[in-house]
Structure 1
Amino acid sequence: MAAATWRYRGDLGAERPAALVRFANGRLRSPESLRFTVYRSRDTAHPRKKHRRILVSETERLCYVGHNFGSGVMKCNSLCRYFVGVLDKDSGQMEVYNAEMFNMQPLLSDNLIPDDTKDYQKKSYREKVDLCIEAFGTSKQKRALSSRRMNAVGSDIVSTAVTKAAANIIDAKGVTALVQDAAQDDVQTISAFLPPCHEDADRPEHVYKFEDILSPAEYEALRVPAAALASATAEDIAKKAEERSHCSFVLEELKFLPADEKSRDHKARCLWFLDTLIKFSHLKVIKKKHPMGPECPHIISRKLMKNFTSLTYNNGSVQNLVSASMKAKITAYVIVLALHINNFQTDLTVLQNDMKLQESRILDIAKALRLKVSKAKGVPGLENDQNHKLGTLSLPLPVQKAPVGQRKRKKMN
């Protein structure tokens, strides 16, 4: 036999490299029985598309497809060059041709090809994880997935039902009536946190009784902590104002304590409790057993926790919270106590600033308490500030009316 020599021939006929196939799912038992069909791109003018080819083969069980373009193409075709040699044993001559590798994958559905991943790419991460659980998840994971999907369906049904019911109510009652009902509900919500009101009272001091604000036992407990206020001198008051140890309302009223010892002690007790209420309203989550300090009597501390906080659960523990509704309740009691201190007329603006409220909020509570609201013009000590609002409790009580409309919301800069 002569020495073997080889000769490079380039592509096969029609400028096509030889096809080398590899089956992705294993080896074939009888590869000699396979027949292959090649599909070539019609766009022969395009420099890239003219080389695109799809190779198709079919066995008794499966149909295989391979291609040299798209997302599933083998990267080795762009990194390496392949050749096929055909040896003539008699002459020892080998013809060498260009070759191209095809990865044959089974086609499991007539409607899905391996590189059709557009729908999958559009899915969210949660949806992709769910698909993995459906295919490979444990029984526990599949049950959890099924339960979550059922809950989602239930939520959609409830949301649809609520939307339909709301639309029916709006059609039947009208938007204006619904707005009025909402405003009335807001007034009723505030009224639920007001002190007991005695509408048939013949005197202003009997409309909101002092005993409903402070019981006799609580009033007696205030004697010791209020003694410092009762004995405060002008220098002490000036020092307290500089230190801001008390709210503005209390500091102003300390300047006008009565000379009579009994009246002076009574006003000092009321001012001490009012100052404590305002400070308590600035808290949010009560974490201490005695949030107002050791000088606060135990019976007063218990009253604050019981009547002016709501229970909430956080990380498995119960906490006392000064919620928005509780702050509204504290505001109502502060206004009533201020009325008893100031002969049933009080400056709402000072209380508003001390409690850090919006004017509309404290005015709503004052009107719910059946107070007459007016400007501070002509009141001694307030002539230079015409923006103050005064609340006056007088008989007969004004009739409660539902607001006709909502206030215009101020634009936020």
Structure 2
Amino acid sequence: MWQCSSKMDSALKEETGASISPVLKKRKCLIKSIHLKQNTKAEPLLVSFSNGQVLDKANLKGTLYQNTSANKRQKRQRVFAVDTPKMRYAGKNFGVEAGTTSRESVFIGVLDKNTGKMELVETSTFLLHPVLEDIKSTNHHLQDSIHSLTFDEKQEQVATSFGTKKAKQYVNRRKQYQVNTEEMALAIDQAASAIDMKSEDLDQGAKEKDTYLSVLPECDREASHIEDVYKLEVIAPDNFLCYFEKPARHLLEGNDPDENCTLLFRELLASAKLEEEEENQLRLACVALYVEVLIKFLSLRDRDFAKDPLQECPTKIRSYIFHEYTQLNNKRRVRNREAEDRARVSTLILAFIANKYQLSVSTLLQSVPIERQKLDILMKVIGAHHLRDSNLYKLKLPLARLAKQYKGRSRK
């Protein structure tokens, strides 16, 4: 049973403009079903406008366009347009013009008060901007000044002229933080030429981008509680873990796990059974199952991807792992070093969360395909402390600092 707060209903009421009760009451309900977005079908849309709001009696006509490319990732790209008597508004869920919420999963909860069951429907969010047409003028000076503006510059002009006070303040802050890139590049070149660098001092990985932050999930190093540094609902939300609910319940009922499972999985499952609340037991058991799947994924080699591995894993989870941690190269699925490290870091963080933020060094080396030196580096990246007296890694505040900046090397 997954807990669902009525705050979700309140958020929906804010979107629809309905009245909101001043007192928020928590209630528990059963998630009956989850309807995810599909490329071939349209889903409910949550739409907002960048420079205005919809009137009560407005009769707007919207059209949803979908990319028909054969590429699966591009098929998810959609454009939503709304026509008004005087102007057209358009927004898309991809690219730099998409809002931050377009990259997050948003669900609408439909609660049946008679049965106490709720259906979750995944939606798409769009931030619509006015479509500004080119000025029709015979003055070529005026035409050049308009056509030379970028999309962001046009948006700044609209916000400055017609936007709210908050929008104008945002534009002013952006202008204050702008830096003359030519002067900055010249200063960097002068500083670099003033240093006599030897060839042996150059690191081979310096030519590649610094992956110190790219291997970490969302991290709040200034958090006052260890639970808020890496949040479980960000790395593996409930709508993601629910695919492991059936096997997790099977294990919590006293059935033995697979004899080939890792020692780490057995310890995480035992830790989940110690929880007092049934809901927490189920959630942590699902986390343990997800950790086990990631360990099996890390044990694979590039040539194994052609055999369509992880068949016992739920389809949605397998698709997410391949999409997140692999890439296609000449129609072959491969995994570079940075993606492999991101998968390792996610595995270690989830294991910390499921085991009260401490892990045995020997258990990790027996379970996760990783060398001790590499394990120490990734633990420093995560911020975990090594307790030499007990041979444990412990994630606690303040986080451990990385003495040397971590750099990953991609495979050729």
TM-score (norm 1): 0.46
Higher CA-based Rg: 1
Structure 2 length as normaliser, TM-score?
A: 0.46
